[in-house]
Amino acid sequence: MTTDAQPAIEVTELACSYQDYKVLQGVSFSVRHAEIFFIVGGTGVGKTTLLRNMVGLATPVHGDVRFNGRSFTGADVVERQEMLKTFGLSFQGGALWSSLTLRENIALPLEEYTRLPGDEIGRIAAFRLSQVGLKGFEDYYPSEISGGMKKRAGLARALALDPTIVFFDEPSAGLDPVTARNLDSLILDIRDTFGTTIVIVSHDVDSIMGIADRLIMLDRDTRGIIAEGSPRQLATGPSDPKVLEFLTRRSVRSG
């Protein structure tokens, strides 16, 4: 049973590898309900690897991931399928099927995980597209829309099953500053309107400082977390020089 005190997500002593290379070790943190939580750090520190291990696209070497108190890492196939229905994934570039229209792309998870009739699935897909500002583009193909529109379409697909948690992998990558800020505003609206828990992998400092409630920062040298907390507090308080440099874009000398 979920309680207000129970985190939406709990990650405990997670170790992740890529082939024979150990990327992360001893990673532990929790994400609160209706929180916008960022996983940040420089290139190659394991942000996307951590995300993939959290959502079942890769298998951790060690540790546990729990959603609303239930172990996802240790779940059997049936339990995992049920839990997958409770969260959405929005990948870099939207990861849309080029041969399908936007409506058909958004319909895919509904067709896979529900027994709804086709007309109802079409109605939901159109509604989700309208939520992200793409009303009227239902019959367009991904090649016919801009990069920012693809990102929004990817979000619409992530929302298709009315998830309680949505994961984003570098949502602002490749976007101009105005489009990136508009996407941030949309993410805020989704959280504020539906109480959705949001987890975002990003190195976009403007986005981090603009919408993050809390963050963890990963580090290549330690292969783990070197900071956790509010980005504003971390950027102004006593923090690891690497954290200050990342969040303030200023070189910081220690000692």
Encode pLDDT of 193-227 as tens digits: 999 999 999 989 999 999 999 999 999 999 999 99
pLDDT of residue 94: 63
Place of tokens 């954290």: 243
pLDDT single digits (tens) 155-196 = 999 999 999 999 999 988 888 899 889 999 999 999 999 999
DSSP 100-163: S-HHHHHHHHHHHH----HHHHHHHHHHHHHHTT-TT-TT--GGGS-HHHHHHHHHHHHTTT--
pLDDT of residue 255: 42
User: In angstroms, rounded to a whole number, what is the distance separating the alpha carbons of residues 91 and 158?
Assistant: 9
pLDDT of residue 95: 77
pLDDT of residue 254: 46
Q: How many residues does the chain have?
A: 255
Q: Identify which of 154, 194, 159 has the alpha carbon closest to the alpha carbon of residue 87.
A: 159
User: In angstroms, rounded to a whole number, what is the distance separating the alpha carbons of residues 92 and 208?
Assistant: 17
pLDDT of residue 208: 95
At residue 119, does pLDDT exceed 70? yes
Quickly state the pLDDT bin for 4 (edges 50, 70, 90). low
Strand, coil or helix: what is 101?
Answer: coil
At residue 32, does pLDDT exceed 90? yes
Q: Specify the CATH architecture of the domain 1-86+164-255.
A: 3-Layer(aba) Sandwich (3.40)
Buried-exposed string 102-113: b where 16+ CB fall within 10 A, e elsewhere: bbbbbbbbbeee
**Structure tokens that stand for 188 in this block:** 């805020």
pLDDT of residue 54: 96
Strand, coil or helix: what is 233?
Answer: helix
At residue 253, does pLDDT exceed 60? no
Residue pair 204/172 in contact by the 8 Å Cβ criterion: yes
User: In angstroms, rounded to a whole number, what is the distance separating the alpha carbons of residues 182 and 9?
Assistant: 27
Tell me the domain boundaries of the chain: 1-86+164-255, 101-162
C-beta neighbour count of 162 within 10 angstroms: 12
Which helix (H) or strand (E) segment holds residue 225: the answer is strand 224-229
Beta-bridge mates of residue 14: 27
**Structure tokens that stand for 65 in this block:** 């991931």
At residue 3, does pLDDT exceed 80? no
pLDDT single digits (tens) 57-111 = 999 999 999 999 999 999 999 999 899 889 999 887 667 899 999 999 999 999 9
pTM greater than 0.75: yes
Mean pLDDT, the chain, integer: 91
Residue pair 205/48 in contact by the 8 Å Cβ criterion: no
